[in-house]
């Protein structure tokens, strides 16, 4: 089973490394970290990751995975990356994402007509590309599996492991990771958190929210112009 995980500048490392930890524990699995070059890329907080293969030399994926992060905005206008994802998706058994990685899949035309999720702050942008937003932690629609924000990547990957290898194997991986969440606060989603904290975070990200909305609208307009 060959898993191709996209990496790119300004991705969110836990979107990638949470699922990677699960995938690496699955039997008979090879993982490729793919980008345009094999030069190191830096995530949104300064962590450097080295891609293992460039786009031109990446073998066909059985599972295609896209993480999110603020670099997602640039990818929505990056035809080389979108072409790579479309090409890899043609032969993939599963097409997957975590967080705003779903928006990259969506602008590539890979979620049109599918139910999908994303980070709660950006999920509604999926409608611009013909996907149906679903506010759940993990969403499965045919051979698409999408995870919500950042930390949901482990849940997503365990769900996929169960699809591929059965629940006992997925549960064994979960146990081996001692993944038994007991968060210190009963928050983490806007429906649970103090509205003042939700408002504070929204205010803090107001600038980037405008940029993300503009990037999504530009990408959607290009797709409409292309269809015309």
Give the model confidence (pLDDT) of 180-208 as tens digits: 999 999 999 999 999 999 999 999 999 99
Statement: residue 227 has pLDDT above 90 = no
> Helices 13-24 & 152-165, crossing angle to 10 degrees?
30
Q: What is the pLDDT of residues 28-64, one digit of tens each?
A: 999 999 999 999 999 999 999 999 999 999 999 999 9
Q: Where are the domains of the chain?
A: 2-227
| Burial readout 168-191 (b: 16 or more C-beta within 10 A, e: otherwise) | ebbeebbeeeeeeeeeeeeeeeee
| Model pLDDT, residue 225 | 84
Q: Give the C-alpha separation, 124 to 147, whole Å.
A: 14
Altogether, the residues listed in the chain come to a count of 228
Percent residues over pLDDT 90 in the chain: 97
Q: Are 54 and 84 in contact (CB under 8 A)?
A: no
CATH number of 2-227: 3.40.50.880
Q: Which residue has the tokens 């649970």?
A: 192
Q: Which residues have CB under 8 Å from 129's CB, separation 6+? A: 103, 106, 107, 109, 111, 112, 219, 220, 223
Q: What is the pLDDT of residues 70-109, one digit of tens each?
A: 999 999 999 999 999 999 999 999 999 999 999 999 999 9
Query: Residue 223: which pLDDT band, with cuts at 50, 70 and 90?
Result: confident
| Mean pLDDT, all residues of the chain | 96
Q: DSSP of the chain, one letter per residue?
A: -EEEEE--TT--HHHHHHHHHHHHTSTT-EEEEEESSSS-EE-TTS-EE--SEEGGGPPPPSEEEE--STTHHHHTT-HHHHHHHHHHHHH-SEEEEETTHHHHHHHTTSSTT-EE---TTTGGGGGGGT-EE--SSEEEETTEEEE-STTHHHHHHHHHHHHHH-HHHHHHHHHHTT-----SSS-SSTTTS-HHHHHHHHHHTHHHHHHHHHHHHHHHHHHHHHH-
pTM of the full structure: 0.96
Could you say which of 14, 16, 99, 145 is catalytic? Answer: 99
Statement: residue 228 has pLDDT above 70 = no
Task: Indicate if 58 belongs to the active site.
Answer: no
């Amino acid at each position: 089973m060959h898993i191709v995980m996209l990496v790119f500048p300004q991705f969110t490392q836990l979107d990638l490394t949470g699922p990677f930890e699960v995938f690496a524990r699955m039997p008979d699995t090879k993982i490729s970290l793919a980008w345009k070059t094999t030069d190191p890329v830096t995530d949104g907080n300064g962590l450097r990751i080295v891609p293992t293969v460039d786009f031109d030399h990446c073998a066909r994926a059985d599972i295609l995975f896209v993480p999110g992060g603020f670099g997602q905005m640039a990818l929505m206008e990056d035809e080389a990356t979108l072409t790579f994802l479309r090409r890899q998706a043609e032969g993939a058994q599963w097409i997957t994402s975590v967080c705003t990685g779903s928006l990259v899949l969506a602008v590539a035309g890979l979620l049109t007509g599918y139910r999908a999720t994303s980070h709660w702050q950006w999920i509604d942008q999926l409608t611009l590309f013909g996907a149906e937003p679903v506010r759940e932690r993990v969403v499965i629609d045919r051979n698409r599996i999408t995870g919500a924000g950042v930390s949901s990547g482990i849940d997503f990957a365990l769900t996929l492991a169960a699809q591929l290898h059965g629940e006992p194997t997925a549960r064994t991986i979960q146990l081996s990771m001692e993944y038994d969440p007991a968060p210190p606060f009963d928050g983490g989603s806007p429906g649970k958190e103090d509205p003042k904290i939700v408002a504070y975070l929204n205010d803090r990200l107001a600038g980037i929210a405008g940029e993300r909305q503009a990037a999504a609208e530009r990408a959607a307009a290009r797709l409409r112009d292309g269809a015309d």
